[in-house]
Amino acid sequence: MPSEPRWSGPQRRIGLTGGIASGKSTVAGWLAEQGLPVLDADVVAREALAPGTPGAAAVLARYGEKVRAAGSAPEAGVIDRSALGQIVFQAPQERHWLEQLVHPLVRARFDAELAQLAGAPTVVLVIPLLFEAGLEGLCSEVWLVDCEPAQQLQRLMQRDGLSEAAAQARIQAQWPLERKRALADRVIDNHQGVADLRARLSL
């Protein structure tokens, strides 16, 4: 599938993507340290399911007590994200439903934030599912943080305390890094770890 046309406006928009646990947060942190505004799709997605939001209400209406946080009052509408993750990463149709709910909310928030940042010379958009969601058109260039699949698996298991099977399910829910490499404008090698990665970053 051909990639979407890149953003061609006067603002430089760096789309930062990569597989789960590939090192995106490290690169995003470095870019923020350079003084660039950073919009993070994961942060927006979490806010879209915060207590009291329409997103949270939709999730609770679909899954009920299975995803309600233990000890929270029904009216509080607090979602147990771990329980939700167990459902959607084991059932592709449920993951698709959740993405159809959250992706438009993320896109709308990004559009609003980009309008507010119209005067900034450069903006960073951290979007893990950039290619999967067809959001290349928001970016003038796409950076992919890359590592070996085995490294990705080990980093994810260690970071989130997941079993190998659970970590594999999350990785397989995204396009493989090999597929994304051909679509990226810049591939950032993260095979050697955080210190080496940060030492080689540049704008």
Residue at 58: amino acid letter: A
Residue 1 has pLDDT above 80, yes or no: no
Claim to verify: residue 25 and residue 56 sit in the same structural domain: no
Same domain, 111 and 125: no
Q: For residue 175, what are the contacts with CB-CB under 8 A and spacing of at least 6?
A: 131, 132
Beta-ladder partners of 187 = 144
Question: What is the total count of domains within the chain?
Answer: 2
Contact 188, 201 (CB under 8 A): yes
Q: What is the mean pLDDT of residues 114-140?
A: 95
> Which residues form the domain of 56?
46-116
pLDDT band for position 3 (50/70/90)?
low
CATH for 175: 3.40.50.300
Give backbone dihedrals phi and psi of 105, rounded to 5 degrees, phi first. Answer: -65, -40
**Distance from C-alpha of 171 to C-alpha of 179, rounded to nearest angstrom:** 13
User: What is the pTM assigned to this prediction?
Assistant: 0.91
Same domain, 73 and 104: yes
SS3 at position 141: strand
The two tokens of residue 174 are: 């995204």
- Model confidence pLDDT, tens digit, residues 4-57: 789 999 999 999 999 999 999 999 999 999 999 999 999 999 999 999 999 999
pLDDT at position 60 over 70 = yes
| CB 126 within 8 Å of CB 41 | yes
Residues 72 and 107 in one domain: yes
Residue 176: CB atoms within 10 A of its CB come to 12
Task: Tell me which amino acid residue 57 is.
Answer: A
* 125 shares its domain with 203: yes
Same domain, 144 and 69: no
Query: Which residues are CB-neighbours of 109 under 8 A, at least 6 positions away?
Result: 44, 47, 48
The 10s digit of each residue's pLDDT in 63-114 is 999 999 988 887 788 999 999 999 999 999 999 999 999 999 999 999 999 9
Helices (H) and strands (E) in the chain, counts: 9, 5
Answer yes or no: do 167 and 202 share one domain. Answer: yes
Give 195's pLDDT tier (boundaries 50, 70, 90). confident
8 and 107 inside one domain: no
Residues 23 and 61 in one domain: no
Q: Hey, what amino acid is at 171?
A: I
